[in-house]
A and B are shown apart, each in its own frame.
Chain A
Amino acid sequence: MIYSMGQKELDGIEDVLKDTLIEIGVQCVCLIDMAGNIVVSLEKGENQHDIYSLAALAAGNFGAVNSMAKIIGEEEFSLLFHKGDDVSIHFSKVFQDFLLISIFGQDVSLGFLRLKVSEAIEKIKDLLTLSLNT
Protein backbone atom coordinates (compact mmCIF):
# COMPACT_ATOMS: atom_id res chain seq x y z
CA MET A 1 0.00 0.00 0.00
CA ILE A 2 1.15 3.51 -0.71
CA TYR A 3 -0.26 6.92 0.13
CA SER A 4 0.86 10.47 -0.48
CA MET A 5 0.25 14.01 0.70
CA GLY A 6 0.73 17.20 -1.26
CA GLN A 7 2.28 20.55 -0.50
CA LYS A 8 -1.02 22.22 0.39
CA GLU A 9 -2.10 19.62 2.96
CA LEU A 10 1.38 19.33 4.50
CA ASP A 11 1.70 23.12 4.72
CA GLY A 12 -1.71 23.21 6.39
CA ILE A 13 -0.73 20.57 8.95
CA GLU A 14 2.59 22.31 9.64
CA ASP A 15 0.81 25.63 10.20
CA VAL A 16 -1.58 24.04 12.68
CA LEU A 17 1.23 22.35 14.62
CA LYS A 18 3.32 25.51 14.62
CA ASP A 19 0.45 27.73 15.80
CA THR A 20 -0.93 25.40 18.46
CA LEU A 21 2.10 23.52 19.79
CA ILE A 22 5.46 25.05 18.81
CA GLU A 23 4.02 28.44 19.73
CA ILE A 24 3.39 27.36 23.36
CA GLY A 25 6.93 26.04 23.81
CA VAL A 26 6.80 22.43 22.57
CA GLN A 27 10.36 21.53 21.48
CA CYS A 28 9.51 19.03 18.78
CA VAL A 29 6.30 17.77 17.26
CA CYS A 30 5.90 14.92 14.76
CA LEU A 31 2.94 13.45 12.97
CA ILE A 32 3.76 9.85 12.06
CA ASP A 33 1.82 6.88 10.73
CA MET A 34 1.60 3.53 12.48
CA ALA A 35 4.21 2.04 10.15
CA GLY A 36 6.73 4.53 11.57
CA ASN A 37 6.81 6.92 8.59
CA ILE A 38 7.14 10.63 9.33
CA VAL A 39 4.40 12.73 7.77
CA VAL A 40 5.38 16.07 9.31
CA SER A 41 8.04 17.04 11.82
CA LEU A 42 8.81 20.41 13.34
CA GLU A 43 11.56 21.30 15.77
CA LYS A 44 12.13 24.46 17.72
CA GLY A 45 15.57 25.56 16.56
CA GLU A 46 18.36 24.14 18.66
CA ASN A 47 17.00 20.67 19.52
CA GLN A 48 18.11 18.20 16.87
CA HIS A 49 16.43 14.90 17.68
CA ASP A 50 16.92 11.72 15.66
CA ILE A 51 13.32 11.80 14.49
CA TYR A 52 13.49 8.76 12.16
CA SER A 53 14.50 6.51 15.05
CA LEU A 54 12.03 8.26 17.31
CA ALA A 55 9.20 7.61 14.85
CA ALA A 56 10.09 3.91 14.51
CA LEU A 57 10.24 3.48 18.28
CA ALA A 58 7.09 5.50 18.90
CA ALA A 59 5.06 3.47 16.40
CA GLY A 60 6.34 0.24 17.98
CA ASN A 61 5.72 1.52 21.48
CA PHE A 62 2.19 2.63 20.67
CA GLY A 63 1.45 -0.71 19.01
CA ALA A 64 2.75 -2.56 22.07
CA VAL A 65 0.67 -0.45 24.45
CA ASN A 66 -2.45 -1.05 22.35
CA SER A 67 -1.83 -4.79 22.46
CA MET A 68 -1.54 -4.54 26.25
CA ALA A 69 -4.86 -2.65 26.33
CA LYS A 70 -6.56 -5.49 24.48
CA ILE A 71 -5.16 -8.06 26.90
CA ILE A 72 -6.80 -6.26 29.83
CA GLY A 73 -10.06 -5.80 27.95
CA GLU A 74 -9.69 -2.22 26.72
CA GLU A 75 -10.17 -1.38 23.07
CA GLU A 76 -7.18 0.98 23.19
CA PHE A 77 -5.34 3.59 25.23
CA SER A 78 -5.69 6.67 23.09
CA LEU A 79 -3.23 8.69 25.17
CA LEU A 80 0.30 7.89 26.26
CA PHE A 81 2.75 10.04 28.20
CA HIS A 82 6.33 9.51 29.45
CA LYS A 83 7.71 11.91 32.03
CA GLY A 84 11.40 12.74 32.16
CA ASP A 85 13.37 14.94 34.57
CA ASP A 86 13.79 17.70 32.01
CA VAL A 87 11.99 16.56 28.89
CA SER A 88 8.76 14.60 28.50
CA ILE A 89 7.00 13.00 25.58
CA HIS A 90 3.30 12.83 24.83
CA PHE A 91 1.59 10.63 22.22
CA SER A 92 -1.90 11.02 20.91
CA LYS A 93 -3.70 9.02 18.27
CA VAL A 94 -5.14 10.76 15.22
CA PHE A 95 -7.70 8.55 13.44
CA GLN A 96 -6.73 4.88 13.32
CA ASP A 97 -3.50 5.32 11.41
CA PHE A 98 -1.63 8.35 12.73
CA LEU A 99 0.12 9.39 15.89
CA LEU A 100 1.00 12.88 17.09
CA ILE A 101 4.18 13.04 19.19
CA SER A 102 5.03 16.12 21.25
CA ILE A 103 8.34 16.56 23.07
CA PHE A 104 8.28 19.29 25.68
CA GLY A 105 10.21 20.65 28.65
CA GLN A 106 9.22 21.76 32.14
CA ASP A 107 8.10 25.14 30.87
CA VAL A 108 4.95 23.57 29.40
CA SER A 109 2.36 22.03 31.73
CA LEU A 110 0.88 18.66 30.81
CA GLY A 111 -2.68 19.92 31.18
CA PHE A 112 -2.15 22.84 28.84
CA LEU A 113 -0.32 20.62 26.37
CA ARG A 114 -3.19 18.10 26.33
CA LEU A 115 -5.65 20.92 25.67
CA LYS A 116 -3.57 22.25 22.78
CA VAL A 117 -2.94 18.75 21.39
CA SER A 118 -6.71 18.13 21.29
CA GLU A 119 -7.18 21.44 19.53
CA ALA A 120 -4.45 20.61 17.00
CA ILE A 121 -5.84 17.13 16.35
CA GLU A 122 -9.30 18.47 15.54
CA LYS A 123 -7.80 20.79 12.94
CA ILE A 124 -5.42 18.15 11.57
CA LYS A 125 -8.28 15.66 11.18
CA ASP A 126 -10.02 17.97 8.73
CA LEU A 127 -6.85 18.35 6.69
CA LEU A 128 -6.08 14.62 6.78
CA THR A 129 -9.62 13.74 5.75
CA LEU A 130 -9.32 16.11 2.84
CA SER A 131 -5.92 14.74 1.89
CA LEU A 132 -6.73 11.03 2.20
CA ASN A 133 -9.99 11.40 0.26
CA THR A 134 -8.39 13.13 -2.72
Chain B
Amino acid sequence: MAFINLKKKEVQVKIVYYGPGRGGKTTNLEYIFKKFQDRIKTDMVTIKTQGDRTLFFDFLPLGLGQIKGYNIKIQLYTVPGQVKYNATRKLVLMGVDGLVFVADSLVERKQQNIESLSNLRENLASYKKDISEIPLVLQYNKRDLAKNDIPLLPVSVLQEDLNSKLNAQAFEASAVEGKNVTETMKQIIFLTVASLERELK
Protein backbone atom coordinates (compact mmCIF):
# COMPACT_ATOMS: atom_id res chain seq x y z
CA MET B 1 0.00 0.00 0.00
CA ALA B 2 2.13 2.82 -1.27
CA PHE B 3 1.49 6.25 0.19
CA ILE B 4 1.82 9.51 -1.73
CA ASN B 5 2.35 12.59 0.40
CA LEU B 6 1.30 15.40 -1.94
CA LYS B 7 2.46 18.04 0.54
CA LYS B 8 6.04 16.78 0.82
CA LYS B 9 5.96 15.38 -2.73
CA GLU B 10 7.07 12.02 -1.42
CA VAL B 11 6.13 8.45 -2.32
CA GLN B 12 6.71 5.62 0.18
CA VAL B 13 6.97 2.17 -1.34
CA LYS B 14 7.22 -1.19 0.45
CA ILE B 15 9.29 -4.00 -1.06
CA VAL B 16 9.58 -7.36 0.68
CA TYR B 17 12.29 -10.01 0.22
CA TYR B 18 10.66 -13.43 0.65
CA GLY B 19 11.99 -16.98 0.48
CA PRO B 20 13.05 -20.05 2.44
CA GLY B 21 15.13 -19.82 5.62
CA ARG B 22 18.89 -19.37 5.21
CA GLY B 23 18.34 -18.43 1.57
CA GLY B 24 20.14 -15.07 1.75
CA LYS B 25 17.39 -12.47 2.17
CA THR B 26 19.13 -10.70 5.05
CA THR B 27 22.47 -10.94 3.22
CA ASN B 28 20.88 -9.12 0.26
CA LEU B 29 19.87 -6.25 2.54
CA GLU B 30 23.22 -6.20 4.32
CA TYR B 31 24.99 -5.87 0.98
CA ILE B 32 22.64 -3.06 -0.10
CA PHE B 33 23.20 -1.33 3.23
CA LYS B 34 26.99 -1.41 2.75
CA LYS B 35 26.92 -0.39 -0.89
CA PHE B 36 24.43 2.48 -0.59
CA GLN B 37 25.43 3.79 2.81
CA ASP B 38 25.59 7.37 1.49
CA ARG B 39 21.86 7.22 0.70
CA ILE B 40 20.85 5.52 3.93
CA LYS B 41 20.73 7.91 6.84
CA THR B 42 19.95 5.32 9.51
CA ASP B 43 21.03 1.89 10.70
CA MET B 44 19.52 -1.26 9.28
CA VAL B 45 16.91 -2.57 11.69
CA THR B 46 17.09 -6.29 12.39
CA ILE B 47 15.07 -8.39 14.80
CA LYS B 48 17.01 -11.62 15.22
CA THR B 49 16.89 -14.73 17.36
CA GLN B 50 19.84 -15.54 19.64
CA GLY B 51 21.01 -17.91 16.91
CA ASP B 52 21.28 -14.96 14.50
CA ARG B 53 18.25 -15.95 12.44
CA THR B 54 15.63 -13.40 11.42
CA LEU B 55 12.84 -13.47 14.00
CA PHE B 56 10.49 -10.77 12.73
CA PHE B 57 12.00 -8.76 9.90
CA ASP B 58 14.93 -6.68 8.68
CA PHE B 59 14.18 -3.15 7.56
CA LEU B 60 16.18 -0.78 5.42
CA PRO B 61 14.89 2.61 4.21
CA LEU B 62 16.49 3.78 0.99
CA GLY B 63 16.17 7.19 -0.63
CA LEU B 64 15.98 6.82 -4.39
CA GLY B 65 16.05 10.47 -5.38
CA GLN B 66 13.40 12.13 -7.49
CA ILE B 67 11.13 10.71 -10.16
CA LYS B 68 8.85 13.23 -11.89
CA GLY B 69 9.35 15.69 -9.04
CA TYR B 70 8.53 13.20 -6.29
CA ASN B 71 11.01 11.89 -3.72
CA ILE B 72 10.86 8.11 -3.76
CA LYS B 73 11.43 6.40 -0.40
CA ILE B 74 11.88 2.68 -0.75
CA GLN B 75 11.30 0.60 2.38
CA LEU B 76 13.06 -2.75 2.04
CA TYR B 77 11.91 -5.57 4.32
CA THR B 78 12.82 -9.23 4.71
CA VAL B 79 10.61 -11.87 6.28
CA PRO B 80 11.76 -14.68 8.59
CA GLY B 81 12.16 -17.70 6.32
CA GLN B 82 11.71 -20.45 8.89
CA VAL B 83 8.41 -22.31 8.44
CA LYS B 84 7.32 -21.77 12.07
CA TYR B 85 7.28 -17.99 11.71
CA ASN B 86 4.38 -17.76 9.28
CA ALA B 87 2.34 -15.41 11.48
CA THR B 88 5.09 -12.79 11.45
CA ARG B 89 5.78 -13.39 7.75
CA LYS B 90 2.18 -12.58 7.02
CA LEU B 91 2.35 -9.37 9.06
CA VAL B 92 5.37 -8.12 7.13
CA LEU B 93 3.51 -8.70 3.85
CA MET B 94 0.79 -6.27 4.86
CA GLY B 95 0.64 -3.45 2.32
CA VAL B 96 3.45 -4.85 0.16
CA ASP B 97 3.97 -3.12 -3.20
CA GLY B 98 6.70 -5.32 -4.72
CA LEU B 99 8.35 -8.68 -4.01
CA VAL B 100 11.72 -10.34 -4.44
CA PHE B 101 11.65 -14.11 -4.03
CA VAL B 102 15.13 -15.26 -2.98
CA ALA B 103 15.48 -18.94 -3.85
CA ASP B 104 18.29 -21.10 -2.49
CA SER B 105 20.25 -22.81 -5.30
CA LEU B 106 21.49 -25.69 -3.12
CA VAL B 107 20.22 -29.05 -4.39
CA GLU B 108 18.85 -30.06 -1.00
CA ARG B 109 16.79 -26.87 -0.79
CA LYS B 110 14.65 -27.68 -3.85
CA GLN B 111 11.54 -28.58 -1.87
CA GLN B 112 11.88 -25.66 0.58
CA ASN B 113 11.94 -23.23 -2.35
CA ILE B 114 8.72 -24.69 -3.77
CA GLU B 115 7.03 -24.68 -0.35
CA SER B 116 8.08 -21.11 0.40
CA LEU B 117 6.70 -19.87 -2.94
CA SER B 118 3.45 -21.69 -2.29
CA ASN B 119 3.35 -20.14 1.20
CA LEU B 120 3.86 -16.70 -0.36
CA ARG B 121 0.95 -17.34 -2.70
CA GLU B 122 -1.28 -18.32 0.25
CA ASN B 123 -0.25 -15.38 2.41
CA LEU B 124 -0.86 -12.92 -0.40
CA ALA B 125 -4.26 -14.49 -0.99
CA SER B 126 -5.13 -13.77 2.65
CA TYR B 127 -4.75 -10.07 1.73
CA LYS B 128 -6.76 -10.69 -1.47
CA LYS B 129 -3.65 -10.25 -3.61
CA ASP B 130 -2.68 -12.45 -6.52
CA ILE B 131 0.99 -13.30 -6.93
CA SER B 132 0.70 -12.95 -10.70
CA GLU B 133 -0.54 -9.37 -10.38
CA ILE B 134 2.06 -8.01 -7.97
CA PRO B 135 5.50 -6.82 -9.18
CA LEU B 136 7.85 -9.77 -8.61
CA VAL B 137 11.50 -10.61 -9.29
CA LEU B 138 13.09 -13.98 -8.63
CA GLN B 139 16.65 -14.34 -7.45
CA TYR B 140 18.50 -17.66 -7.59
CA ASN B 141 21.03 -17.12 -4.84
CA LYS B 142 24.31 -18.83 -3.87
CA ARG B 143 25.46 -19.42 -7.47
CA ASP B 144 29.02 -18.69 -6.24
CA LEU B 145 29.07 -22.06 -4.46
CA ALA B 146 29.49 -23.85 -7.80
CA LYS B 147 33.19 -22.93 -7.78
CA ASN B 148 33.57 -24.86 -4.51
CA ASP B 149 32.10 -27.97 -6.17
CA ILE B 150 28.96 -27.77 -4.05
CA PRO B 151 26.06 -29.30 -6.01
CA LEU B 152 23.60 -26.64 -7.14
CA LEU B 153 20.24 -26.87 -8.85
CA PRO B 154 20.59 -25.99 -12.53
CA VAL B 155 18.88 -22.71 -13.40
CA SER B 156 16.58 -24.62 -15.77
CA VAL B 157 15.30 -26.68 -12.81
CA LEU B 158 14.78 -23.58 -10.66
CA GLN B 159 12.92 -21.97 -13.55
CA GLU B 160 10.75 -25.05 -13.97
CA ASP B 161 10.05 -25.36 -10.24
CA LEU B 162 9.36 -21.71 -9.49
CA ASN B 163 8.93 -19.63 -12.58
CA SER B 164 7.20 -21.73 -15.23
CA LYS B 165 3.84 -20.04 -14.65
CA LEU B 166 4.97 -16.72 -13.22
CA ASN B 167 7.41 -15.84 -16.00
CA ALA B 168 9.01 -13.23 -13.76
CA GLN B 169 12.47 -11.86 -14.42
CA ALA B 170 15.04 -14.03 -12.63
CA PHE B 171 18.63 -13.25 -11.64
CA GLU B 172 21.43 -15.68 -10.87
CA ALA B 173 23.05 -14.13 -7.85
CA SER B 174 25.48 -14.36 -4.98
CA ALA B 175 24.34 -12.19 -2.10
CA VAL B 176 27.60 -12.87 -0.22
CA GLU B 177 29.69 -11.55 -3.12
CA GLY B 178 27.12 -8.95 -4.14
CA LYS B 179 26.67 -10.40 -7.61
CA ASN B 180 23.34 -9.25 -9.09
CA VAL B 181 22.11 -7.99 -5.72
CA THR B 182 21.89 -4.41 -6.97
CA GLU B 183 20.43 -5.56 -10.30
CA THR B 184 17.70 -7.51 -8.49
CA MET B 185 16.87 -4.48 -6.37
CA LYS B 186 16.90 -2.08 -9.33
CA GLN B 187 14.57 -4.33 -11.29
CA ILE B 188 12.01 -4.71 -8.50
CA ILE B 189 12.07 -0.96 -7.86
CA PHE B 190 11.58 -0.31 -11.58
CA LEU B 191 8.66 -2.76 -11.81
CA THR B 192 7.04 -1.49 -8.61
CA VAL B 193 7.27 2.19 -9.50
CA ALA B 194 5.98 1.46 -13.03
CA SER B 195 3.07 -0.49 -11.53
CA LEU B 196 2.21 2.41 -9.21
CA GLU B 197 2.34 4.82 -12.11
CA ARG B 198 -0.10 2.63 -14.07
CA GLU B 199 -2.40 2.49 -11.05
CA LEU B 200 -2.39 6.28 -10.78
CA LYS B 201 -3.41 6.81 -14.42
A residues with CB within 8 A of B? 1-7, 10-11, 33-39, 50, 52-53, 56-57, 59-60, 63-64, 67
Chain A residues lying within 8 Å of B1, measured Cβ to Cβ, are 1-3, 33, 35, 37
CB distance from A127 to the nearest CB of B (A): 13
Residue from A2, A4, A6, A56 in contact with B75 in the complex, judged by beta carbons closer than 8 Å? A56
Q: How far is the CA of A18 from the CA of B94 in the complex (A)?
A: 29
With A35-B94, A67-B91 already in contact, the answer to whether A4 and B3 are too (CB < 8 A) is yes
CB distance from A17 to the nearest CB of B (A): 14
- Do A4 and B4 have beta carbons less than 8 Å apart? yes
- List 16 A–B pairs whose Cβ atoms lie within 8 Å, in order of A's numbering: A2-B2, A3-B2, A3-B3, A5-B4, A7-B7, A10-B6, A11-B7, A35-B3, A36-B14, A39-B5, A53-B59, A56-B45, A56-B75, A63-B91, A63-B94, A67-B91
Residue from A3, A4, A34, A67 in contact with B87 in the complex, judged by beta carbons closer than 8 Å? A67
User: Which residues of B61-91 are within 8 A (CB) of A?
Assistant: 61, 73, 75, 77, 87-88, 91
Chain A residues lying within 8 Å of B7, measured Cβ to Cβ, are 5-7, 10-11
- Do B94 and A1 have beta carbons less than 8 Å apart? no
B residues with CB within 8 A of A? 1-7, 12, 14, 42-43, 45, 56-57, 59, 61, 73, 75, 77, 87-88, 91-92, 94-97, 196, 199-200
Q: How far is the CA of A37 from the CA of B92 in the complex (A)?
A: 13
- Do A57 and B5 have beta carbons less than 8 Å apart? no
- Do A35 and B57 have beta carbons less than 8 Å apart? no
Q: How far is the CA of A28 from the CA of B45 in the complex (A)?
A: 20
Q: How far is the CA of A18 from the CA of B3 in the complex (A)?
A: 22
- Do B91 and A60 have beta carbons less than 8 Å apart? yes
With A2-B196, A35-B95 already in contact, the answer to whether A10 and B4 are too (CB < 8 A) is no
With A53-B45, A53-B61 already in contact, the answer to whether A36 and B2 are too (CB < 8 A) is no
Given A37-B3, A39-B5, 20 additional A-B pairs, CB 8 A: A1-B95, A1-B199, A2-B1, A2-B97, A3-B4, A4-B4, A5-B6, A11-B7, A33-B3, A35-B96, A36-B75, A38-B12, A52-B61, A53-B45, A53-B61, A57-B59, A60-B56, A64-B91, A67-B87, A67-B91
